[in-house]
Amino acid sequence: MTEQRAGIEEISIKDLGVIADASLPLGPGFTALTGETGAGKTMVVSALGLLLGERADTGAVRLGSPQAWVEGRWRVADGGEVVERVRDAGGDVDPLGQGAAELVLSRSVSAEGRSRAVVGGRSAPVSVLTELGGQLVVVHGQSDQIRLRSAVAQREALDRFAGAPLAAAIDVYSQVFHRWRDNRAELEEIVADQDRRAREAEDLRLAMAEIEAVAPQPGEDVELAERSERLSNLEDLRLAAATARELLSAEESEGTDALSLLDNARRHLERVSSHDAQLVGVAEAVANANYLVSDVAAQLSTYLATLDTDGARELEIVQERRAELATLIRKYGPALDDVIEALETGSSRLFELDGDSERIDQLRAEVEADAELVTELADGLSRMRREAASRLSDEVSDELTALAMADARVVVEVTEREEFTASGRDQVSILLQPHSGAEPRPLGKGASGGELSRVMLAIEVVIAGSDPVPTFIFDEIDAGVGGASAIEIGRRLARLAETSQVIVVTHLAQVAAFATNHLTVVKGSDGSVTESSVRQLTGDERIAEMARLLSGLPDSESGLAHARELVDMASVKR
């Protein structure tokens, strides 16, 4: 992006808390947001929180309104990770030219608690706002000062300062670490389960041997059942077939079998068919019937010849085979096909189980090699972090000197833990030494709220030089600070705004004086309902607001003079 950096262009708010309807023109640089106590400055930060995926609070919906609504217009790099995530969610951006695009995010919260997010013109889960917010904005407030006290947040701050070289080294380490961890877990599982798997392999070998000994064939059980039925009724079948054959064609039947009767019928009809043509067809039909009956008689003779002479012995063999198959089906069924499949799949499973020893040896070798590599890479991360920690300590301490903490020094310590994690094995601690000779103490124990604010700002200013963030939002970072310290905070915020968009909610004129864009939340009241809106201040209006911040009197001559002097001073120092 060539003309303008990424950042929030404008935020529109409707029916959120005491804000009925407001529009905040933001843009690049340093924006200060001021206003009377209770006017709704915090609601502006809450609105931003909604756009960044924070949990919706139904109590923030303006009394009597059906819902609160917030919309933000962002200027982003066209084609970057943010745009890619928006399109993955089904939304899109509007190209602005020169590598820039406009992204619109919105969020509504109903009085009943329903929340709806819109990303790039399409409804999306609130989690998408959270993902995008992590890439677009860093928010600092009193809760974030508490977050800065955690070991994880302090390590992340150091890693951001160390920049791309450390990030690349962490990626390489993380891949090896996860491979080492996964292989180690598999190795432990196989070793711990080795006895059970050995028993399973032995049981499987016995089962396969039993099945292979019987060697069942597909459909064999059905075929044997049919043969058993036939053999069990062999005498009835022989008697019925022999009787039927005798009735159709008997050697000594005295002309009473079916073939003899049909032959007599044919001869009688043929003898007189010359007298009546209709009988010719009938005679032919009788002749055909004779042929058919003769064929059936021949089939019966063949059938009788194929009947087993020793049916009892064959039936015994069939029943024994059926019993063998039934035993297999009972053990490995419920059907014969399941038994055959068990034999087929058992081979691959047995191969897997028998390969445990080989797999264990392979895993042990890989785990040992990766353990050495993890240690080596983690040592490399530690060296990089210690070098970065030394530089971060010096640079943040220099910043604190300019923030009226000249005697204070930040000490960034990197110590190694015994266990490895996905980010290495370093424990990072940011300590504050309030004055020379004092023992450095953790931020949560050795710093007041005002000191924490200045330490946090100093860290962000230093880190921004190596890892810039599109937008910083500071919610009353100047709490507990005043005088010269406040001026230095304003100057440092202005310096941070040289590389990032900076939005600050403040009650100090010394901080607001350094802003390039000054917005104020204006409170009005009709006696029962308080409404607030946002105005952009320039010229005399801005001077009057600065005077109010200084003395509480927007029209005091001395206050106005002091305000002009402060603005002039800030423009020079900025």
More confident site: 293 or 552: 293
Convert the pLDDT of each residue in 153-205 to its tens digit.
Answer: 889 889 989 989 999 999 999 999 999 999 999 888 888 777 777 787 788 88
| pLDDT band at residue 151 using 50, 70 and 90 as cut-offs | confident
Residue 148 pLDDT: 65
Residue 356 pLDDT: 67
Q: Answer whether residue 42 shows pLDDT above 80.
A: no
Q: Answer whether residue 396 shows pLDDT above 70.
A: yes
Bridge partners for 75 per DSSP:
7, 102
Residue 1 pLDDT: 39
For residue 184 the two structure tokens come to 């180690």
Of all residues in the chain, the percent with pLDDT exceeding 70 is 91
CA atoms within 13 Å, Cβ hemisphere of 59 = 0
Q: Report yes or no: 169 and 377 within 8 Å, Cβ to Cβ.
A: yes
Q: Report yes or no: 73 and 101 within 8 Å, Cβ to Cβ.
A: no
**Sequence-ordered alpha helix ranges (H) in 403-448:** 443-446
In this prediction, residues 47-73 reach a mean pLDDT of: 86
Q: Report yes or no: 137 and 473 within 8 Å, Cβ to Cβ.
A: yes
| pLDDT band at residue 145 using 50, 70 and 90 as cut-offs | low
Q: Report yes or no: 384 and 165 within 8 Å, Cβ to Cβ.
A: yes
Work out the number of other CB atoms within 10 angstroms of the CB of residue 407: 12
- Give the Cα separation of 280 and 300 in Å (integer): 31
Residue 78 pLDDT: 86
Q: Answer whether residue 311 shows pLDDT above 80.
A: no
For residue 339 the two structure tokens come to 């038994």
- Give the Cα separation of 129 and 86 in Å (integer): 9
Q: Answer whether residue 131 shows pLDDT above 80.
A: yes
In this prediction, residues 127-140 reach a mean pLDDT of: 84
| pLDDT band at residue 149 using 50, 70 and 90 as cut-offs | low
Residue 2 pLDDT: 37
Burial (Cβ within 10 Å: 0-12, 13-18, ≥19) of residue 446? middle
Burial (Cβ within 10 Å: 0-12, 13-18, ≥19) of residue 359? middle
Taking alpha carbons only, the member of 50, 55, 62 closest to residue 19 is 62
- Give the Cα separation of 57 and 109 in Å (integer): 8
In this prediction, residues 145-159 reach a mean pLDDT of: 77
pTM: 0.62
Residue 232 pLDDT: 80
Residue 445 pLDDT: 72
Convert the pLDDT of each residue in 416-450 to its tens digit.
Answer: 998 999 999 999 998 888 888 788 888 767 666 66
In this prediction, residues 91-119 reach a mean pLDDT of: 89
Q: Answer whether residue 57 shows pLDDT above 50.
A: yes
Residue 38 pLDDT: 64
Q: 266-275, 450-459, 496-505: which range is least confident on average?
A: 450-459
Mean pLDDT of all residues belonging to the chain: 84
- Give the Cα separation of 59 and 56 in Å (integer): 9
- Kind plus residue range of the DSSP H or E element containing 247: helix 234-248
Q: Report yes or no: 41 and 532 within 8 Å, Cβ to Cβ.
A: no
Alpha carbon separation from 564 to 185, 400, 555, 557 (Å, rounded): 68, 27, 13, 11
**Sequence-ordered alpha helix ranges (H) in 403-502:** 443-446, 449-464, 483-496
- Kind plus residue range of the DSSP H or E element containing 519: strand 517-525
Q: Answer whether residue 39 shows pLDDT above 70.
A: no
Helices 194-214 and 356-402 pack at an angle, to 10 degrees, of 150
Residue 462 pLDDT: 85
Residue 381 pLDDT: 96
Q: Report yes or no: 105 and 118 within 8 Å, Cβ to Cβ.
A: yes
- Give the Cα separation of 445 and 430 in Å (integer): 11
Alpha carbon separation from 206 to 212, 213, 343, 353, 470 (Å, rounded): 10, 11, 11, 14, 68
Residue 412 pLDDT: 93
Q: Answer whether residue 146 shows pLDDT above 70.
A: no
In this prediction, residues 203-219 reach a mean pLDDT of: 86
